[in-house]
Structure 1
Amino acid sequence: MEKNGVRNRHKSEKQNGVAPQAEEKKYEEFVIRESPLTELIDSSLHIRAIYHIFVVILVVLFFDTVIYDLVERGKINIGVTIVAAGFGDIKRGIRLWSYQMAVALMLYPLLRIYAWIGSFTRKYPALRPSMVVLGVAGVVAVEVTLAAVPVYELGRKHLALGSSASVTCEMFRLMMKLVAVSAACGPRCLDGTPLPTFKHYVYFLFAPTLLYRDQYPRTKTIRWGKVVFHLLEVAAIVFYCCFLWERFIMPYWSDYGKQKTVEAGTLVRGMFACVLPGVISFLCGFYCVLHAWLNAWAEMLTFGDRLFYEHWWITSRFSIYYRRWNRVVYSWLRDHIYLPIAPHTGKSLATFIVFFVSAVAHEVILSLSFGFFYPVLLVEFGLLGVVMVPLTASSGRRFPNAFNLIMWLGFFIGNGVLWSLYPMEYFARINCPPSENDSFFIPKSWTCPEVILKPDWTFQNPLDMFKESDS
């Protein structure tokens, strides 16, 4: 029954290019359902063939790496070196994660203490505002404690890219979960409603959702075959992205900054060369995190609701895309930022605040991961992304095919820019000589190396060719 409803909803969306608001609300609660790609791959031979194409590309790329290294260097490199470099100093990363988890677990006894204090003050309603302030201050203190040490440690001594990204993403994940638990259980501490058990609290910390509920729909068994399959997909995609980085990104940017000058044509050629590996990495990252990784954890924890995303790839409106791309984060932003402030600020300002908070969070993750502040994603997501929401609100509904094409064009160009500018800055900070003007916040690639045109560069009007032929 549920699957039929989902299929009918997506059929309606394909015909109209938009999902009615009533249907959006209908699917907010947790129910047992599979992820959209799971349904599509199981039910459509065409989608399964596309999946096989990506697997074959990975296999061909794997053999390309092995054969090239065997012929050129006399040894076999299957990508383990670059993966190990990307997740370097993993022990320090595990220690930081352990600290974050310890702080998150500490919230539960604090909730118990807060409920115990609330039981004494329940007879005095005048004390309730003070108790609310105390509770908010306690949550803020726990959040700051959780974030302060990882931020300080990553700022003091940078981890490898993969390790620092994992630590930072986990930091934000736990911080959002603590907000959700506090929002749900804080009032219960004052009203005398029983708190969840510690077992359920721990379950929520690992469950693939950011919304707290006392109960979630659960499956009856754990299909360990699916768990292993999804974890193998995660490992394969990690190698896949490392291959893309090693074969298509590093050849263009690894020497950036070693020479004092670089021709503009070289930069343009490199940026366009990064478009395809950039968008492939974009799709692989989506599949790895929001499908394979979350489905593996959902299966291990018998978490029944697997709707971590929706059919974002067929939409023609950016507002719908942002809701469907990552329903896990979108639902948290909706429940804990948008809905509480919208009655006071209005829908437009509340939407802008949500975009701003999300863009800043993404930028913090990238800054702590790379070791420098370079707000490329902030401009693309927090500025251009916000502008595209009203521009595609009505036109995307009227011309769904055209604006779906425009949306994908934006994905290709945007990822090509991201996979060019961030590596340029990353290698510029490695290759360029140190300067007294070096700063965490000022991009070094803007001044080193100097971008020049070819000495004999001239512009020839293509229309002059027709004039010469006429004469």
Structure 2
Amino acid sequence: GGEHDQQLPNLEGSGRGDVAIKSLLRSVVASWNFIGPVEVKLATPGSSVPCGLKAGALGRSGATHVLPMVLGGKRDPSPRLFSSELMEVQHFRTIYHMFIATLCVFILSTITVDFIDQGSLCAWGLDLDFDLFFFAFGGLPTALSAWLGMFLYTLLVPYKALQLWAGSYHTVHFPRLFTALLWGVLLACHAVVLGFYPIYTVIQHQLPPASRFIVILEQIRFLMKSHSFLREAVPGIIQAKPSDGAVKPPAFSTYLYFLFCPTLIYRESYPRTPYVRWKYVAQNFAKVLGCLFYSYFILERLCIPVFTNMSKQPFSIKTLVLSIFNATLPGTFLLLLIFFAFLHCWLNAFAEMLRFADRTFYKDWWNSTSFATYYRTWNVVVHDWLYYYVYQDLFWVRGLGCLLPIFQLFKGRSRAAAMLSVFIMSAIVHEYVFTLCFGFFYPVMFTLFAVVGVIFNFLLNDKRKSPVWNIIMWTCLFIGQGIQVCLYCQEWYAQIHCPLQQTFWGLVTPRSWSCRS
């Protein structure tokens, strides 16, 4: 399939020695894929690392991080198939079946109760008109056209800018001025096309929530992808010698592949699987549709009846607390459904279609005994991007002598400052997404990430190993999901029942605090 399309060996063997050989060969093949031919040596206690390969010099997928880093990257050159192999484990598959059975029993019990109480299944709405579903995905053609515009821009403009810069950087008389002008123009284009345009689209066309999520999440994905591509390609061009001839950017085909493959870390090559299992792809997309149906059912039966008239009742702490605990069950279901639908089914489907072998989109976050571990393992795709381009690059900037305010605040504790920066950035992005997609400002996500998340990250740290802490983590997750579902549902119906005051404080103050229609 091409020079970057080496296949993994299909090795057979059931013995312990065969497994070890298989693992070693896979590591060698993956290392070849990422960094070219390498010398394989078995490290022994007290042995030295080869001079050309300093500790921590390799990135997530084995490629060198060109810019100097104070902290070393994580070396993991082997193709990882965690999420795709997880369902092959009999014990985990049984738990998956139990979860489906629980949902089926939940649906049957609801139908039975409604039939007994109202004497008719049609009263419950089993004609399945899916009004909520069609409302949420209204304006889908507009959302898709916005996606197409953002995709074409991300595909063509950053690559052409890099191509122009690479061909002229070592030949112009004022390379720094040329670089500043070119990247200034690119930054302005980014601000217009990937910044203003999607916001204008969702507001001007009054898109409903699901269509808004498509546009805004894709906006963020394209920003992260283009940043990774430029961040990985630029240092190599800078360090190239003019005597080597014309400097060429990475192949266009590798960038096009990167825009679709389920990773946010750009590499010129990735481990590839030998073939595509189209049945597996269809099964994953079918599971995504099933998760959408279950989410619709949960919202229709457990959230809307509870919160639709809540703003019409007098506010009290008792009512709020009871509503939070009533929202814990649907919130937990929605958390697991979103995790399974996107991080497992959706990403695995695209990975399979593109023969992308690295399937570690998440790790065993359900076994976490600390929130520090949970944040690292819940979404590995985003975590890797934050680790390399926010956490590590902050140390690189600090190493250049740039004392950012966050480092001045944490004197002598650079790791804590960088970690807090990651939390704040993540909190701002989450709040940005929810504000635009729901159409109102209610900083629940920002508070949970930037305040509660930071506190839990430092209090429930990696030193907690007892299974009791896993119970505590799950309890906090359940309550947190109840808080999110309760407060956002309250605010949604408060925005409907109460007229919006066209003042600054009217726009930034949650309506559910004062709405009593």
**Which TM-score tier does this pair reach, normalised by the shorter chain?**
0.7 to 0.9
- Report the CA distance shift for 1:74/1:420 in structure 2 as closer, same or farther (over 3 A): closer
TM-score, normalised relative to structure 1: 0.83
Cα distance per residue 1:66-105 (max 9 Å; x no partner): 7758524386334633221111111111111112112111
Is 1:427 aligned with 2:474? no
CA contact (8 A) 1:169 1:365 kept: yes
Shift of 1:349: 0.9
Query: Which residues of 2 match residues 4-403 of structure 1 at below 5 A?
Result: 28-36=75-83, 38-44=84-90, 46-61=91-106, 68=114, 71-73=121-123, 76-78=126-128, 80-106=130-156, 107-121=158-172, 124=173, 127-145=174-192, 146-190=194-238, 191=240, 192-257=246-311, 259=312, 261-262=314-315, 264-343=317-396, 344=398, 345=407, 346-393=414-461, 395-397=463-465, 400-403=466-469
Q: Partner letter of residue 223 of structure 2?
A: M
CA contact (8 A) 1:260 1:448 kept: no
Q: Would you tell me which structure has more helix in proportion to its own residues?
A: 1
CA RMSD for the aligned pairs? 2.6
TM-score, normalised relative to structure 2: 0.76
Match of 1:9 in 2: none
- Report the CA distance shift for 1:117/1:429 in structure 2 as closer, same or farther (over 3 A): same
CA contact (8 A) 1:338 1:350 kept: yes
Query: CA–CA distance in 2 between the matches of 1:35 and 1:129?
Result: 44
Shift of 1:308: 0.8
Farther-moved stretch of structure 1 (164-173 vs 69-78) = 69-78
Shift of 1:244: 0.7
CA contact (8 A) 1:139 1:182 kept: no
Query: CA–CA distance in 2 between the matches of 1:263 and 1:340?
Result: 47
Shift of 1:389: 1.6
- Report the CA distance shift for 1:333/1:150 in structure 2 as closer, same or farther (over 3 A): same
Shift of 1:374: 0.6
Q: Which has the higher contact order (CA 8 A, sep 6+)?
A: 1
Query: CA–CA distance in 1 between the matches of 2:131 and 2:189?
Result: 38
Query: CA–CA distance in 1 between the matches of 2:473 and 2:377?
Result: 14
Is 1:444 aligned with 2:511? yes
Query: CA–CA distance in 1 between the matches of 2:415 and 2:124?
Result: 62
Q: Unmatched 5+ residue regions in structure 2? A: 1-18, 25-54, 61-71, 241-245, 399-406, 408-413
Shift of 1:131: 3.9
Q: Partner letter of residue 341 of structure 1?
A: L
Query: 3-state DSSP class of the match of 1:323?
Result: helix
Query: CA–CA distance in 2 between the matches of 1:79 and 1:262?
Result: 34
- Report the CA distance shift for 1:181/1:26 in structure 2 as closer, same or farther (over 3 A): closer
Match of 1:14 in 2: none
Farther-moved stretch of structure 1 (276-285 vs 130-139) = 130-139
Q: Partner letter of residue 282 of structure 2?
A: V
Query: 3-state DSSP class of the match of 1:201?
Result: helix
Match of 1:407 in 2: 473
- Report the CA distance shift for 1:31/1:209 in structure 2 as closer, same or farther (over 3 A): same
Q: Partner letter of residue 276 of structure 1?
A: L
- Report the CA distance shift for 1:441/1:430 in structure 2 as closer, same or farther (over 3 A): same
Query: 3-state DSSP class of the match of 1:261?
Result: coil
Query: CA–CA distance in 2 between the matches of 1:144 and 1:239?
Result: 36
Count of equivalent residues = 425
- Report the CA distance shift for 1:262/1:77 in structure 2 as closer, same or farther (over 3 A): farther
Percent identity over paired residues: 32
Query: CA–CA distance in 1 between the matches of 2:87 and 2:355?
Result: 21
Query: CA–CA distance in 2 between the matches of 1:76 and 1:119?
Result: 68
- Report the CA distance shift for 1:30/1:66 in structure 2 as closer, same or farther (over 3 A): farther
Query: CA–CA distance in 1 between the matches of 2:75 and 2:308?
Result: 45
